[in-house]
Amino acid sequence: MDQSALEALAAATGDLLRGNGQRLATAESCTGGWVAMCLTAIAGSSDWFERGFVTYSNDAKREMLGVEAGTLAAHGAVSEATALAMAAGALRHSRADWALAVTGIAGPAGGSPDKPVGTVCFAWAGPDGRLDAETRRFAGDRAAVRAQSVAHALRGLLDRAATHAA
């Protein structure tokens, strides 16, 4: 997926959020701020993009988002439990209505038999305490895994925000 396609997803996200009068915060690990970069590439994004957290280290996840050390110890940084805690923390530490979180193993190293390279966990937190998470495994090199992760995070938010608005 190329940058223009990612920015088209970001623009659709912005249109939906603007139409709903809502704002978004992001919490990113393996994507390193790429989701936020796509969102802020859209003119007028200050109307609906509230802030982004790049929490690459476990310390950053704990300090900036309030992810519990016990969650990281029990489940690991790449887990739905951690992604959920990241998304919930991004909502708590912002003025956003929605948050998305991405944490994974983009490679080329760092994988394990249980969590191979390409494993990425996502979470979305929204109004009324809504929290959803899922895990995906993406093929390709580091750049491909990261690009697919950005796209999946944005599509997931679009699906959830559109359903919530309906």
Confidence of residue 165 (pLDDT cuts 50, 70, 90): low
- What is the residue extent of each domain of the chain? 3-165
Share of the chain above pLDDT 70, in %: 99
Q: Residue 87 is encoded by which pair of tokens? A: 């998304």
Q: Residue 163 — very low, low, confident or very high, per pLDDT cuts 50/70/90?
A: confident
User: What pLDDT shows up at residue 117?
Assistant: 97
The arithmetic mean of pLDDT across residues 120-147, rounded, is 96
**What integer best gives the mean pLDDT of the chain?**
96
Give the full edge-to-edge strand order of the sheet including 24-28.
Answer: 49-54, 24-28, 98-104, 119-125, 131-137
The conformation of residue 117, written as its DSSP 8-state character, comes to: T
Q: What is the pLDDT of residues 6-47, one digit of tens each?
A: 999 999 999 999 999 999 999 999 999 999 999 999 999 999
Residue that has been written with the tokens 């690009």 in this structure:
147
pLDDT(166) > 70: no
Element (H, E) at 160: helix 142-165
pTM of the predicted model, to two decimals? Answer: 0.97
Q: Is residue 142's pLDDT more than 90?
A: yes
Residues making up the chain, counted from first to last: 166
Q: In this structure, which amino acid lies at residue 24?
A: L
Contact 13, 24 (CB under 8 A): yes
Identify the residue whose tokens are 């750049």: 143
Task: Check if the beta carbon of residue 140 is closer than 8 Å to that of residue 118.
Answer: yes
C-alpha 74/C-alpha 115 separation (Å) is 14
Amino acid found at 84: L
Tokens of 137: 């495994």
* DSSP state at residue 33: T
Domain 3-165: state its class: alpha beta
